[in-house]
Amino acid sequence: MNYQSLLDSIATEVAPMIGQGKVADYIPALARVPIAQFGIALRTIDGHTAAAGDADTPFSIQSVSKVLGLTLGLQAMGPTLWERIGREPSGNAFNSLVQLESERGKPRNPFINAGALCVADRLLSAHAEPARVFAELGRQLHGASFVFDEEVARSERETGYRNAALVNFIKSFKQIDNDVEDVLALYCHQCSIVATCTQLAHAFGYLANGGEQPGTGARIVDREQARRINSVMLTCGTYDAAGEFAFKVGIPCKSGVGGAIVAVIPGEMVLCAWSPGLDETGNSVVARRALELFVTRTGLSVF
């Protein structure tokens, strides 16, 4: 299949939609991002690439970084990571506090904010410099260290009142071991990682290849862990729209409020689509449609 021609045609089809939705203006540094942008890129596990639109424009990956955090957590702790974090869809907004009271501070999954904060806490316990570990993971995944946007990190920390409430509430149930400010600082830094569609399509190749990074042979996670990460992406990776994504797209996806959606087709490839305009669930309007078109035209789905 001519993937470049396919991505070009998808970019043309979604062009009238670009600008729909709303940027994540509750984070001041993201409120200034121009909404009229769209990029898409893919990389197959045998190294073929294609890209269209603004695929090489850098953006804040935001909650896409939660997959990286989960990867590092599984590297450090293995299955014991799940003792404090569930694997079920939440059915609520990504920053909701609703279920934590009845479930005694155990987040439903690692891809909502509460779960990612717990993962950050585990990484603080496992590593002396966890932010550096995040950065160096980029070198393994796409050949260069991940870079943090300090303005975005600072903006998120200064206005992240709900995240502060979440981590304090979880700590009240003794599910957080480290200092609250340290947990929040690491979480905000991981969300501020800057990348492009092309880089992310490359970086997440290990999830399409049984945990081994294509091209380098580096073992990032074992085969079972890769399968587990993909399954949680499918069921929990797009906030409370995960069911709709499974229905319309049908492949593991992880979105972020920066407008990116990374999608994994196991045994085949990774795609990344990006456009800053979000729908009411916090998922990119145009990126979601682009992935739906790709799966429809290729028939590549886990179903």
**Mean pLDDT of successive 10-residue stretches along the chain, which has 303 residues:** 97 98 94 97 98 98 98 97 91 70 88 95 97 96 96 94 94 96 97 98 98 97 98 94 94 98 98 98 97 97 89
Q: What is the pLDDT of residue 103?
A: 83
**DSSP assignment string, the chain:** --HHHHHHHHHHHHGGGTT-SB--TTSHHHHTS-S---EEEEEETTS-EEEEESTT--EE-GGGHHHHHHHHHHHHHGGGGGGS---S---S-TT--HHHHHTTT--S-TTSHHHHHHHHHHHHHH-SSHHHHHHHHHHHHHSS--EE-HHHHHHHHHH-HHHHHHHHHHHHTT---S-HHHHHHHHHHHHTEEE-HHHHHHHTHHHHTTTBPTTT--B-S-HHHHHHHHHHHHHHTTGGGHHHHHHHT-S-EEE-TTSEEEEEETTTEEEEEE-S-B-TTS-BHHHHHHHHHHHHHH-----
**Which 3-state string (H, E, C) describes 251-262?**
CCEEECCCCEEE
Strand partners, 262: 254, 272
Length of the chain: 303
In the chain, what are the domains?
A: 3-59+195-298 (3.40.710.10), 63-191 (3.40.710.10)
> Model pTM?
0.96
Return the active site residues. Answer: 63, 66, 187, 239, 257
Q: What is the pLDDT of residue 1?
A: 87
